[in-house]
Structure 1
Amino acid sequence: MQYISTRGQIQEISFKEAVMMGLADDGGLLLPASIPSLSAGDIAALSKMTYPELALRIISLFAEGIPADDLKDLVDRSYSTFSHKEVTPVVHQDGIYILELFHGPTLAFKDVALQFLGNLFEYLLKERGEKMNILGATSGDTGSAAIYGVRGKENINIFILHPHQKVSPIQELQMTTVTDPNVFNLAIRGTFDDGQRIVKEVFGDLDFKSEFSLGAVNSINWARVLAQVVYYFYAFGRVQRDTGCKEAYFSVPTGNFGDIFAGFIAKRMGLPIRRLILATNENDILSRFVGKGDYSIADVVETPAPSMDIQLASNFERYLYYLMDQDTAKVRKAMADFSSTGGLSFDANLQQRVAQDFLSGSATRSETIDTIRDFYQKTGYILDPHTAIGVKVGKEQTGGECPLICLATAHPAKFGDAVQEAINTSPTMPDSLAGIEKRPSRCEIIDAETDAVRNFVEQHSC
């Protein structure tokens, strides 16, 4: 399995090289040169597997070059850190299926990928006798999951940018209370989009990237997306076993397009997904793209679902590659146009093709809070605000003709203020968060400028 760039300006590379490169050297995003296809029989067999067994099977299709025993060890160690025996259990509530992705160390779906990626980085660095400086930006959950994935690991330093005072208090504490010497938290005076821009600009400086051995943990890293493909297969297998369904909808709260793009890859592999439902908050650039063919930047709005307070979806380019029939010249032109104008529009033909993959909708602040309240009153189950958006939009877009699976992307305790507002009580605090506000913390506040971040990395690199 070889890997290519969405912009077509690099030679094909191996899986190991793709993991270490992160962002393609031509500024594009890496993708497998071809997507494996699974038969109905293959998918039926996968449904009988445990989560680690399934993860090993799916990841091995894309990870040539890693011996089977080594890959099994990486997978087993990665998911041994989860508090639930099923890793990503599925629960049935109010006529829908909720895929709980928050049983990892930082109580968010990012753990599913970043526990694996942290172990994979350590494995590859040891094999190569090299060091790495990881640079990433977060809107809340990626940062803590990445930090927990590599804290204390040899030959790795990690630098995580988050928007100062624009993530939830728990999200901030989960990052800044990790004081291992190889962890650096940078609170930038700006938005997540500023952080994402800075990361791409630093990676675009190829001399700097090479000199300081930069690695990526954002979903620009293909291994992140790959690990997330697994739970679509796992959830479908559990729901099919329960209902006998032949297809299912997946509703995905998303801001950066990474989680839902993993579902798109699962669909291309043959998983019978009726439609992927793209759910956004007021930062609705993605739902406008699906519904109106309008992909244009607007101002970032702060909402109760801060991990979705994004206007620049870094994984959108990967989908654009397939929408444009894998024509890298068209992708390059589209991204250049977007860079210069801040917007792209899509004709009726392309909109029709998008509609074959996605349904979409958005939720306002009040609708998000109301959904948490209504769902709790009906079921006693507490949704976090991101998951509530997925539930609200998913129910609006489907009619019961096949099961609806909603991705629960974070534990409600991470967003206690929103939950308190909705149901007038705080969610139970997991043991891992008990007393977190009293722990020592370390963080640097820094201007949202590329040179400032570049200089900080240079001074503190491993």
Structure 2
Amino acid sequence: MKYISTRGQAPALGFEDVLLTGLAADGGLYVPELLPRFTLEEIRSWRGLPYSELAFNVMFPFVEGAIPADDFRAMLKETYADFAHPAVAPLIQIGSNEWVMELFRGPTLAFKDFALQLLGRLLDYVLEKRQQHVVILGATSGDTGSAAIEGCRRCKHVDIFILHPHQRVSEVQRRQMTTVPGDNIHNLAVRGNFDDCQQMVKASFGDQSFLDGKAQLVAVNSINWARIMAQIVYYFHAALSLGGPDRSLAFSVPTGNFGDIFAGYLAREMGLPIEQLVIATNRNDILHRFMSGNRYEKHQLEHTLSPSMDIMISSNFERLLFDLYGRNGAAVADLFARFQQGPVSIDDYRWAQARKLFDSYAVDDEATCATIAEVFSEAEYLLDPHTAIGVKAAQACRRDASIPMVTLATAHPAKFPDAVEKAGVEARPALPLHLADLFEREERYQVLDNDITAVQQFIAKHWKFA
């Protein structure tokens, strides 16, 4: 399997190099040169498989030639054995043909565990083979940071630096990052927003000279292909649990960076019958404004009750645009060059093509709280604010009530107790036992100005071989 850049000017790479590279040299994102495609008969044969075996069937084509089948199968079995439910991603019915898929049963209570617990093991495997030390650099709007730290903290060949926007993540999210001990773990609270953090990460990958050639940066954000690859699996899992592939499904996905819903698009391209994908956003609604009006335009970022989606520039959207432009990297590069200067639109026929599959809906804080209260009242099921946005968007955009609608439950409600309290729900969510003492643990993090030089100097000074 070879991987190519969405901007067409970087060399094609194998899986190992893509895992360690992050952004392509031309500023693009890596995608498979050719997607594997499964027949309905193949997909049907996977019914009843344990989650790790389903994951092997879906993902092995992406790593074949880089990781032997037995090693990859063992890695997956170990990854998903750590999840707190035997189904790994259980489905809960909350209404008529309306479901949520709980993606928060991993160690850090968020969907990012599905990819990042695997990513740590992939890195360990590749870096041990190469006897190479790397610096992980990532930005988080809340959940990626803790999942990356948990997934990679035992890797002996990495130092981890995670940027988060200072005072713009929930307290539980912050403490999940900052209370993990380890000399190779560094949490940086940046006086800015998530997009500021993300931009610093992208710029640092583009020019790594601040490390003096002594180390390589590795991405844990969803620009890393391994993140997307692992998220494809649970779309197959949901379909097989609800009658697929002999019936189509619809999915509503709370998303800010477009990675999680792009994985659903890829599942469909790989042969899974998916009728509809709903992009669920909060007030930071750049994706909704594009899908509803063909206008991709930056607005001022707003702080909301769903902070993991407080993102204005959706990095993975470029991967979809690459397909909409017939995989023409030069056209994508030109589009994003124009986007730096102001709003952009795409050709009407390309936009219409996207609208055949995608719908979108933006939900404000008031409607988020109302949805949490309504679902708890009707189904005695407690949603976190991000999942509530997904449920509300699913209800607003549903095309066919006969098709199962699955909302991806992206986080445990205990991560956002203030939002649950604001919704007027009396059942304040408790943290699971393994995190019961979270508020008693010592925190370690550094507050830095919104200045890339200060961030890069900190990294250069504190990584293992500095």
User: The TM-score by the shorter chain falls in which range?
Assistant: over 0.9
Figure out how many residues of one structure are paired with residues of the other and give that number: 459
Residue correspondence of structure 1 range 153-164 to structure 2 within 5 A: 153-164=155-166
Equivalents in 1 of 2:174, 2:267: separation in Å?
32
Equivalents in 2 of 1:455, 1:27: separation in Å?
23
Equivalent residue number for residue 450 of structure 1:
452
CA offset digits 1:350-383 (Å, max 9, x no partner): 2211101201111111000000000000011000
CA offset digits 1:187-217 (Å, max 9, x no partner): 0000000000000000000545753211000
Equivalent residue number for residue 78 of structure 2:
77
Cα shift at 1:395: 1.1
Equivalent residue number for residue 205 of structure 1:
207
CA offset digits 1:231-286 (Å, max 9, x no partner): 00001110116xx8610100000000000011111011011000111000111000
**Paired letter, 1:163:** P
* Structure 1 unmatched runs, 5+: none
Equivalent residue number for residue 221 of structure 1:
224
Equivalent residue number for residue 110 of structure 2:
108
Equivalents in 1 of 2:318, 2:450: separation in Å?
24
Equivalent residue number for residue 283 of structure 2:
282
CA contact (8 A) 2:208 2:217 kept: no
Equivalent residue number for residue 436 of structure 1:
438
Residue correspondence of structure 1 range 402-417 to structure 2 within 5 A: 402-417=403-418
CA contact (8 A) 2:37 2:269 kept: yes
CA contact (8 A) 1:152 1:182 kept: no
Equivalents in 2 of 1:432, 1:346: separation in Å?
48
**Paired letter, 1:289:** F
Equivalents in 2 of 1:13, 1:153: separation in Å?
24
Equivalents in 2 of 1:58, 1:347: separation in Å?
33
CA contact (8 A) 1:108 1:410 kept: yes
CA contact (8 A) 2:208 2:216 kept: no
Residue correspondence of structure 1 range 243-392 to structure 2 within 5 A: 246-341=247-342, 343-392=343-392
In the alignment, which of 234, 238, 257 is matched to residue 231 of structure 1?
A: 234
| SS of residue in 2 equivalent to 1:62 | helix
In the alignment, which of 142, 165, 168 is matched to residue 167 of structure 2?
A: 165
Equivalent residue number for residue 137 of structure 1:
139
| SS of residue in 1 equivalent to 2:302 | coil
Equivalent residue number for residue 6 of structure 1:
6
Equivalents in 2 of 1:222, 1:40: separation in Å?
25
Equivalent residue number for residue 60 of structure 1:
60
Equivalents in 1 of 2:435, 2:43: separation in Å?
37
**Paired letter, 2:440:** K
Equivalents in 1 of 2:238, 2:210: separation in Å?
41
Identity, in percent, stands at 46
CA contact (8 A) 2:7 2:26 kept: yes
Aligned-pair Cα RMSD in Å: 1.2
CA contact (8 A) 1:186 1:444 kept: yes
| SS of residue in 1 equivalent to 2:137 | strand
**Paired letter, 1:442:** R
Equivalents in 2 of 1:47, 1:226: separation in Å?
20
The answer to which of 56-65 and 213-222 deviates more is 56-65
| SS of residue in 1 equivalent to 2:62 | coil
Cα shift at 1:25: 1.6
Cα shift at 1:389: 0.4
**Paired letter, 1:459:** K
Cα shift at 1:45: 1.4
CA contact (8 A) 1:245 1:403 kept: no
CA contact (8 A) 1:2 1:32 kept: yes
Equivalents in 2 of 1:9, 1:302: separation in Å?
36
Structure 1's consecutive aligned runs of 4 or more residues displaced over 3 angstroms after TM superposition are 206-211
CA contact (8 A) 1:212 1:461 kept: no
Equivalent residue number for residue 91 of structure 1:
92
CA contact (8 A) 1:46 1:233 kept: no
| SS of residue in 1 equivalent to 2:403 | coil
In the alignment, which of 158, 177, 180 is matched to residue 178 of structure 1?
A: 180
Equivalent residue number for residue 147 of structure 1:
149
Cα shift at 1:46: 2.2
| SS of residue in 2 equivalent to 1:346 | coil
Cα shift at 1:424: 3.1
Equivalents in 1 of 2:238, 2:455: separation in Å?
40
Equivalent residue number for residue 120 of structure 1:
122
**Paired letter, 2:395:** K
Equivalents in 2 of 1:324, 1:159: separation in Å?
35
* Structure 2 unmatched runs, 5+: none
- The alignment status of 1:40 with 2:50, answered yes or no, reads no
| SS of residue in 1 equivalent to 2:159 | strand
